Structure formats: structure tokens, C-alpha cells
Chain A
């Protein structure tokens, strides 16, 4: 055996030598290294021809034209701006650039689903076929209508303007319900203010591109979304020649991105921007440096006035000149020095093309009607509302109107329980803004009942301030139908889900851009086959209309959503207005009613083709031809607010600073909580995409912890260290948060970012911090009954868990 061992060793020795002079070991080394090229199971993207398809981004109201890059014409890989678009000039925002992460989102709903278990139990949601889903929904809608319960159908849709929302309205009206609501937004306030002062129901629009001095009352211009397209177009305009030609003054309490990038930051107590506006008005009036002619000829209620009962009423001049609006008084409220107010007013009054803006962007409505009026008043004093002025009304897009709704022959209108329109008569002159009041009524269940609620492109359960109102209202609603493409918080609670396509899988359009002083229309055709078994909600509505009843069918005669859009676009063609922009150098941002745009398209067909190819349609606004108020003037004293003589206090007709009663005692809740919308989160129907997660700074989110901003001094008083875990409590709720000591925060105020704290979707979205909406308190505005999000009282308690 000894011998054997020796032999073995010798053979082995030889073998080793042999192997070393063969390729084996070297090849193995090389190949293992090559293997590591695919370590470990590194995905290998399919190769092929790369093409671009035009589309329009509908992820916010901005309406940027975009291009989708495709591999082999069927796999979308990225979204780019469309260089031919005069609004974006090829630029795109982070949300737009992340767009495909929604198309390929793991949390997309793959096919219709029906809740078989308890509501809200995800595992109870079982896939069903489209035939079943549509059949079930159609049957139910038909039955309700037959039973005269059509008013018990309610709907909540997104607040962006598209032909889809018009189709929804058509559907509801023809069905016989007026309970269709858009998600609340700051635009509501702009529309209301415009309606009160000018008598026209389209929101104010601002000539950002033509202004030279912009006094912004808390508009988050640079926080992205909303009017990002407009703001960036303006920003490029301002900096055309390299240096900024426009002075931007930002008035708000937090040093927001806008405030930081503004030429001047005027820091005021949260929610007192309107007081400052009134203070500025005071100075302008006192010094007489305002557009005297315009005010004399075109403004009603500047001087004292008498209503038609003959009662003498105080005018605006009289009001601002008196006690609460002297710089000294305003200084007390806003926390500014009186001198600074004088100086600011001086600057605003003296500068040419000075513009006061507010409520721009995808913002919550943080101002009551009277505050909106105060800001509008400043523009009135500057004479900005003259024809071709810096402030105009958002021009309408001449789309073909929808056919008149047919009533059922012999249907008794009074039959059945009343709809909300009847219920709320008299409570406020402008009930159409009453989304929150609707929620209240449904919660109480006394005034009205809702049998079925339809939700499309909205996630109210998460994204409305004081979202528990919706949750409570939902408990009173037997059936919730969601058309969401994603398993969001609201969809997860639905009893029936009919998932919509995502953008780029369907026909979409953009009808105008909020606050834009020009009219704009863009259209997007599907760039690829739908990934999943989803259906265009527009098509679904048309299909349902067919199954419900003759009148509804007749009011929505189109075979497909594409056909419907073609029909609408024909309207533009017939109007022979506006033009197609296929070059970026169209000065769309500088358009005013002074210019007239010559049509550059011959036929409706050509227009349609051009729109489909990614070009947008635009038109200069038509000059504001007079005001449609009772006085025929711009009403500083809005007589339409109260039936003549109904209101005791004169100032209730006038712009004024009206601080709301905050709930909770100051002793228990010594701090103020302000929720802000940062640029790196999304706050509406869409969650923050994974790409944008990388943008969220670690001073806002660390792991699962959200950080609130606190001024060093306040933190010192409370003995909080940076990063310390604390508990934030308001009268509405509480959340575990951590402290970010920041110089951007105003002393005594807690700033909490919105868009975090989702509990639905997937682990890329879920479990990141807390949802600010569930801590906030919403106040009903007395004029429009619109929900107003004011700063609310809050307290911070240190948690035992201590620092980290």
C-alpha cells in the first residue's frame, strides 16, 4: 500500500504538471471572470430598433408634450420631452421622466376585480371578466335609475381639465345626478374669486411671461407639478438673455424652494399672506399710487356704495384705510416690520408690469374666498385687469360642445330622494365647490344618501387634507367603484374595480393649462398595446351609457373614445381659431389678447393628424370683453355674495383678512403645523415613483421615518436634538416623526412634507413616513363652501425612544 501511495503521488505530480501546460486552468479562470459579467442574474435588456412616439404627459395639469422611446416598437423604455413643443422646449419634469414606472408598476391592477370578502380586504378582491364587471355595474346603475335613485349616484374625478371630465359630466347629467365632484384644488379658489369679481366662471390667468415684477403670495412656483410647464416656460423667458430680467418676491412663512430661488423672500406668519396684501393695498390707497383711471371707470365698490335697498355700504377704500390694515396693525399680524410693508408696497406700486400671483400650481386651497379677493384686489389696483393686462381669465378651448342631455320622457324630476343640489340650496351662493360639504352630508347621512360612488383618477382616501372625512363618508356608501389603474388606498377599499389604461396605452387630451393666459390643447394617442387586461374608462362609460337607457345612450352617441375626441377636435377646426405649434420658437408664453393667431391648418383632419403627431394647438386669449357682474364692472364689493341687504356686515362683501377659528387650545397646542408639497414627492392620484425616491433628501425621510422642519430656536426651547424622534399631535391626529432642525423653518411652526406615508401600493411606496393629510384640519369657506386648508395648532412631545 505504501508502494501504491508513492505511485499515486508520482502520478499526481505528473498530472499537475500536465494540467498546468494545458488550457484548462487558464480557461477556467478566464471563463469564471466572464461568468461574473452576468453576476448575478443581471438583467439583459432585449435589443432592437429604437424609435420615438409622440404623446402628451397627463401626470399633472402641465400638459407637456413628450416622446416615448420604444424598442422594436412595442417596449417603452423612457420618456423624453418633445423639443417641438413651445411650452416645454424639450424639457421634462422628474415625474414626467419617471412616467413609465407607472406603466410597468408592480402595483398596477391587471384586470377587473370584485370584492368578495369584507371591504378593504385585499385578499378578498377576486379577478373577474370585463363582461361580468360591466354587466354587474350596468345592471346596478340601470336599477338605481329605474327606481328613481339616480341622484344617489356620486362621482369623484381628478381636477385636471380634459375631455374625460366633460364625458363624466355628460354621463352624470344624462344619468340624472348632479353629484359629480372634482378633487379640490387651489384652482377652485381662483375660479370662485374670478366669478365673484368678474362674473365669469373661468379662473384667473397670470401673464408670467410679460411681467417684470412678480409678487407671489405663497404660490409654489418651483415646487413642480401643476403649472410647472408654465413656470419653467416663464423661467426660460426671464433668463433668455442669460440673467434674470424679472424680480420675483415670494411671500410665505417657510423658506420654500420658491422662496429660496426668489430674488426676495418676505417671511410672514403662516396664513397671513392676505393680511399683507391688504396692508399693501392700504399703503397704495393712502399714497394714491394705484391705477386711478381703471379703478374709477372699471371697478365697483372701491368707494362706498349703496345696495338697492338703499343701504349705505363701506367701500374697499374705506375698509383698507381703517384700523386693521394700517402697516402697524398688519405688522402685528404678519410679523413683518411696518417699514418693510411700506417699502414692499412702494416697490409693488412703483414697478412697471408688476403682478400679484397666488394659488398657482398643484397646491391645496390654503385661502378662503375673501383672501383670494384680497390678492385679486391688488391686481385691480395695479390695473392688471385691463384688456391685455397681466391678469386675465383662462380662455376656453373651442372644443365641440357635448350634445344636450335628453330627459326621460315623463320622468318626474321630483321623484325619489333629493340630490345634493336641492339639499344645499341657499346655504351658499356657489355650491359647486362644496366637495367637503358633500363629504359632510354623506357622513351625517341625514341630508342625503349615496348608493354608489364612482372614483376615477383620484385617491381621496389618501390625498385630500383631513382624509378621514372621506373614510367616514365611505362607511355610509354601500358600493364604491374604482376605475384606478393602481392598487391605491381608495382602490383597495373598492367593491368593484374596473382598471383604466395608464397614459401612453390610451387616448388622452389636455384642455388648457391652469393659470395660463393662452389657450392650449394637446392630444396623446396610445404608443403601445396595453400591457394588461385594462380598459379605457372613457370607453367603459360609453359602453355603460349604452346599457343604461335610451336617453343616456343618446347623450353619448360615440362608438369609441377616439371617435369622441375626433368629434371634439372638429370643434376647434370649425372655430378656425388658433394654430398648431410645431416649432419651439412660438412665443406662446408671451401671448396676450393683443396678438391674434392665424390658423395654420386647413382641415379638421389635418388638425387631428398634427395633434396626434405630438404638436399642440394654441391660441391667444380673447380680450376680457367687459365684466358680467351686476354692476358691469370689476366688483371689489362682490354684491353677488349675499342677496342684497342680506349681509349685515359690510366687509362681508369686500376683500378682507379673515383668520379662521383654529380648533384646539393654544395652551395645549402651542405650535402651528403647516403641510407643504415638496418637489420630490407626488401628492395626488399618483404615488412617488421609485426614480424620484432617490431625490427625497435624507433630511426629509430616513428609512421609515419622516422628518419635520423645526427652527433651531424652537428646537432649543423644546430641547430637541437634530434627528430626535418626537410625536406630533394635532386635534385631528398624531404621527411619530423626527426632527430636522432647519433655518428654512419659521420659529414656532412645524413643517411637514406631503406625499409620504402611503399604506397601499408596494414596498417601494409603502411605509415611508406619515401622511400629513391625516393631521391637517380643513375649514369650510363661508362663501364657496370650499375646503380651505389653514395652518392648524399642533404640539410636539419627545418620545422615549430618544435620539438616533
Chain B
């Protein structure tokens, strides 16, 4: 059966090896599922959260993974949308399937974690039924679920390209026709993901009671709304590229032309530098103009483990540095520098999501209030790790049984 499912003419590692890898992943997932069950049954006291840290590991990982996932699919937008005008973007077609898979796993994974994050999962649907239009979280709930659907729709045709499934005529037809309308989905998807990414940024940005997180902005949208979108698209494609790179390393095969990486590098370089410039401007305004107006100086926002290093790491090491590497042609030439930059880029954006969901609320606002430190328990780490394992699982399966990379065959003719 396994053989039959593997795309024609492609080499894959032997079933036992793959089985072992699956076993490992399922192990982690099982562990996480168990931990999750405990959280649901015993209530949230098993987590490290408390009344000073309403948001913790769950939210952080969700924000990060969604940023990367949604951003990943940004390359879909570039391919289906913009390539009409910029033919050079056609290159991305060679990696687009992977981008879809990444987007899909990230979103579905994030959704699963969200169920644990709320105290009354049975009421999760209130978000649609009794929506408060003012709440950024409402925006998130709507977008995240709509977008998850879109991603499923986009993932389906990829799945349908499986050799065995293609044998069934109607399925094949269905799959093909889906492909043709994919552009529309890609565009709606992108719009949703933009909006949704923005509202995620809004979540922290609108909190006018929390000077650390609060940002002024356009209309109802704080600057974080736009910064989150930018940072997502400035890191997502890099994420896809990095995963692709890892796949190549693991499988020992060439999956896409080097030119694709270079192109992504170029795109990300531009986007990241735009983002980082704006981020610096935003930080300067926030730290030097807005906060003093609220009675606080930047120093009040950094303490102990949540020290100023966060800012330096996020903007300097993981922002300016990778941006420069990616803009620098020679930098893109070297695999080490290119993928290093990709990695830093991703780390930086993840760090940003961490800052916006934990230190931002650890900082005391009342003058007589005190700093607190949040330490996640295994009941938070396990499910999040399981979620990552799930992503790895789907990606591995997709790579093994679906023709993700149109050029794989040619590239590996020996």
C-alpha cells in the first residue's frame, strides 16, 4: 500500500524508518493530548497562568505559529495574485504546495490549542453567537475559523494529487477544477489572513489600560495591527523556505531550485527591512512620546528576566541583522547566511509575539503594584509541543505521499 501511495518516480525513505519517525511524532502528540485532557478535566489550575498572567504559553505559541503559517501563505498570494504582473514570481510555484501545507497545519494546530486556552470550551461558539464587534478577539475568532476553512479548501487539491486518489476519475476532475479556482481562494485567504493577522496584533494594541501594549493607530486599528501583518509576511515565506531547506537536508534531495530560495530571500529582505524600520519608529514613538504621556518611561517596562535584552534581541539581532544579510546579494548566495537569516527572522517575529503576550502584561501599571514572573507548567508546554509535532507529522506525510514539489523529479535525476 505504502509504495502505491508514493508519487510515481519519486524516492522516499524506507517504510520502517518513516514508521519510526511517525512513532516518535505520535508519541509527542499523545503526550500533549493527555496533558490537554488533564487541563480540560481538572480546569486551568494545572497551568502556570494566574490573575496577573491571563495570557501565557498557549497564546504565545498560537500567535507565533499563526504569524508564520499565515505569512507562509503570503507566498500563495504572490504566486496566484501578483505573478500575473511580476512574472518573476512564477518561480514560487515550485514551492507553493509546501506553503499551503504549512499554512494548513499551523492554523489547524493553533485552533486545537485555543480550545485549551479558554476556561469554558463548551461555550467557544458564543464568539459567533454573541459577538462583541468591538473586541479584537471577535475579529480573531471569525477570521481564524474562516481562514482555517479556506486553508482546508486549498489543502484538499494538494491531497487529491495523490496517485491512488487520482485513479478515481471524479476526484481527479474535482481536484483539477479546484486548482483553477484556487486563485480566488488564495486572494480571499490572503485578505482574511491579513485582517486576522492584524486583529491578532490589535489584541495587545487596543489595551489602553496597559501602556506597555497599547498603541495609537489608524481608525480602530492600532499600529500593532499593521506591524503584525508586516512582520508575518516578512517571516512566513522565510519559514516555508526554512522548512523546505530542512526537508532537503533530511531527504538528501534537491526539492526546489536554489533560485527559489534566492527569490524568497530577496522578497523577505525587502519586507523585513520595511517592517523593522517601521517597528523601530513605532518603538521610538511608544517609548519616548506615548509612554511618558501616560506617566511611564521605557525603563519601567523592562525588569529582571523581562529585561531590555528583549528589545535588543527582537529589533537588533533578529531584525536589522537578518534584514541586512537578505538585502546583501552575497549574503543570499551563502546557504549558511541565507538560512541563518531566515532563522533569525523567524526567531525575531516569534520573540515579538512573546513580548506582546507575556512581558507586556507582567509590567505593573499601578505604581504600588509589583512585577511578577510567569513559568509555564508541563500542561502548557506538552500541548504546544504536541501541536508542533502535529505540524511535522502532516508535513512529513504530505511530503511522502503527495507530489509537493513539481521539480523534484528532474532535480534528482541521477
Residues of chain A whose beta carbon lies under 8 Å from any beta carbon of chain B? 29, 32-33, 35-36, 39
Contact = CB atoms under 8 A, between A and B. Distances in A.
A29 B120 contact: no
12 contacts: A29-B125, A32-B122, A33-B122, A33-B123, A33-B125, A33-B126, A35-B122, A36-B120, A36-B122, A36-B123, A39-B120, A39-B122
Nearest to B43: A40
A33 B124 CA distance: 9
Contacts of B120: 36, 39
Interface string B101-130: 000000000000000000010110110000
A32 B123 CA distance: 8
B50 to A, nearest CB: 12
B302 to A, nearest CB: 21
B353 to A, nearest CB: 30
Contacts, number: 12
A90 B126 CA distance: 43
Contacts of B122: 32-33, 35-36, 39
Interface size classification for chain B = under 10
A721 to B, nearest CB: 15
A276 to B, nearest CB: 33
Interface in B116-159: 120, 122-123, 125-126
A803 to B, nearest CB: 14
A39 B123 CA distance: 12
B354 to A, nearest CB: 26
A36 B118 CA distance: 13
A741 to B, nearest CB: 14
Contacts of B125: 29, 33
Contacts of B126: 33
Given A33-B123, A35-B122, A39-B120, 9 more contacts: A29-B125, A32-B122, A33-B122, A33-B125, A33-B126, A36-B120, A36-B122, A36-B123, A39-B122
A488 to B, nearest CB: 31
A702 to B, nearest CB: 14
A39 B42 CA distance: 12
Contacts of A39: 120, 122
Contacts of A29: 125
A26 to B, nearest CB: 10
Contacts of B123: 33, 36
B141 to A, nearest CB: 15
A32 B122 CA distance: 7
A33 B118 CA distance: 14
A738 B125 CA distance: 48
Most chain A CB atoms below 10 A, which of B120, B122, B125: B122
A744 to B, nearest CB: 16
7 A-B pairs closest in CB distance: A36-B122, A33-B123, A32-B122, A33-B122, A36-B120, A29-B125, A36-B123
A35 B123 CA distance: 10
A701 to B, nearest CB: 17
Contacts of A36: 120, 122-123
A40 to B, nearest CB: 8
Interface in B178-216: none
B51 to A, nearest CB: 13
Contacts of A32: 122
Contacts of A33: 122-123, 125-126
A35 B122 CA distance: 9
B171 to A, nearest CB: 14
B357 to A, nearest CB: 25
Nearest to A36: B122
B181 to A, nearest CB: 23
A6 to B, nearest CB: 13
A29 B126 CA distance: 10
Contacts of A35: 122
A33 B126 CA distance: 9
Interface in B364-394: none
A33 B123 CA distance: 5
B40 to A, nearest CB: 11
A495 to B, nearest CB: 43
Interface in B66-107: none
A686 to B, nearest CB: 30
A35 B125 CA distance: 14
A32 B126 CA distance: 12
Nearest to A32: B122
A32 B125 CA distance: 11
Nearest to B125: A29
A184 to B, nearest CB: 39
A29 B122 CA distance: 8
A509 B367 CA distance: 47
A36 B120 CA distance: 8
A46 to B, nearest CB: 26
A80 B4 CA distance: 79
Nearest to B41: A40
Nearest to B121: A36
A36 to B, nearest CB: 4
Nearest to A31: B122
B167 to A, nearest CB: 15
B253 to A, nearest CB: 38
Nearest to B123: A33
B165 to A, nearest CB: 16
B202 to A, nearest CB: 27
A29 B125 CA distance: 8
B42 to A, nearest CB: 11
A535 B253 CA distance: 89
A581 B123 CA distance: 55
A35 B120 CA distance: 11
A36 B122 CA distance: 7
A29 B121 CA distance: 11
A35 B126 CA distance: 14
A36 B125 CA distance: 13
A205 to B, nearest CB: 39
B116 to A, nearest CB: 16
Nearest to A35: B122
A43 to B, nearest CB: 16
A39 B122 CA distance: 10
B322 to A, nearest CB: 39
A763 to B, nearest CB: 17
A33 B122 CA distance: 5
B101 to A, nearest CB: 27
B214 to A, nearest CB: 29
A694 to B, nearest CB: 13
Nearest to B124: A33
Nearest to B120: A36
A330 to B, nearest CB: 37
B370 to A, nearest CB: 10
